[in-house]
Amino acid sequence: MKKVAPILGMLLLLVTLSPVSASSSLSQDYSHPYPTGIIPGDIVIGHNPISDLIIPGYWTHTGIIAYYDSSAQDWVVVEAWDNPSEVRTVYLSDFLKRYDTVAVLRVDTTNEVREAAVRFALQQLGKPYDWGWWTKEVYGDSYYCSELVWASYMAAGGPDIDAHPGFYWEYLWGVAPQEIYDDDDTYVVYYDSS
């Protein structure tokens, strides 16, 4: 019973607090050099010091880079966001401003799998945010940020980019941004800390 209490406490905290709301409450915009050499299917990941309080691991948010918008001269990121509570697109430049440390990861797979992952992520636009952070599913009715990125690669037939695919005491049955960063099938192609 002593081991169950901390897990229940963490679950309660996860249900009542949002990592994205915490990150969006920062009034400061961070400045990072714009990444180069990006390709569709790369994963952008950010750290927010306020979200550190509730998200296990260093990294607190993630999205998948979908395509380049030549009219805006910016990459488009698909992310699951809690306010408004949905899967949406944002420009990479806006994503970068929200985090004191950012990285771009590449999944060690084929371009065909990366493109299929992007197509899956885009098909999820408008779905609601998933508040069940302690679980994950590929074909869900809702997604949280790292669940969406993980599910996109799973649906595309790519590698499982969850470093702890089963139960892990820190992340339960879910997939956290830190687990995507730590997975052997991802590697860093860009990193900057303000």
Average pLDDT rounded to a whole number, residues 92-105: 96
- Residue 98 or 167, more confident: 98
CA 59 to chain centre: 9
Mean pLDDT of 5-34: 51
pLDDT at 163: 80
169: confidence class by pLDDT, cuts 50, 70, 90: low
pLDDT-derived band of residue 174, with 50, 70 and 90 as boundaries? Answer: confident
The mean pLDDT of 71-84, rounded to a whole number, is: 94
Q: What does DSSP say about strands 85-91 and 101-107: parallel, antiparallel, or unpaired?
A: unpaired
Residues 6+ apart with CB under 8 A from 70: none
pLDDT digits (tens, 9 = 90+) for 103-146: 999 999 999 999 999 999 999 999 999 887 778 989 999 999 99
Contact 192, 99 (CB under 8 A): no
More confident residue, 51 or 169: 51
Work out the percent of the chain whose per-residue pLDDT is above 90.
Answer: 67
Residue 65's nearest CA partner among 194, 192, 190, 193 is 190
Domain CATH number, residue 152? 3.90.1720.10
Place of tokens 């990444």: 35
Comparing 73 with 19, the larger pLDDT belongs to 73
pTM of the model: 0.83
pLDDT band of residue 172 (cuts 50, 70, 90) is low
Q: What is the pLDDT of residue 170?
A: 63
Say how far apart CA 182 and CA 178 lie, in whole Å: 6
Please state the domain count of the chain.
1
Nearest by Cα to 125 from 82, 86, 67: 86
Q: Tell how far CA 146 is from the center of its chain.
A: 4
Ordered alpha helix ranges (H), the chain: 4-16, 19-24, 92-97, 111-123, 145-155, 177-182
pLDDT of residue 158: 94
Structural domain containing residue 107: 4-193
Three-class DSSP category at 15: helix
pLDDT at 186: 98
Residue 23 pLDDT exceeds 50? no
What's the whole-number average pLDDT of the chain?
A: 85
The model's pLDDT over 25-53, given as tens digits with 9 standing for 90+, comes to: 445 789 999 999 999 999 999 998 887 67
pLDDT of residue 54: 75
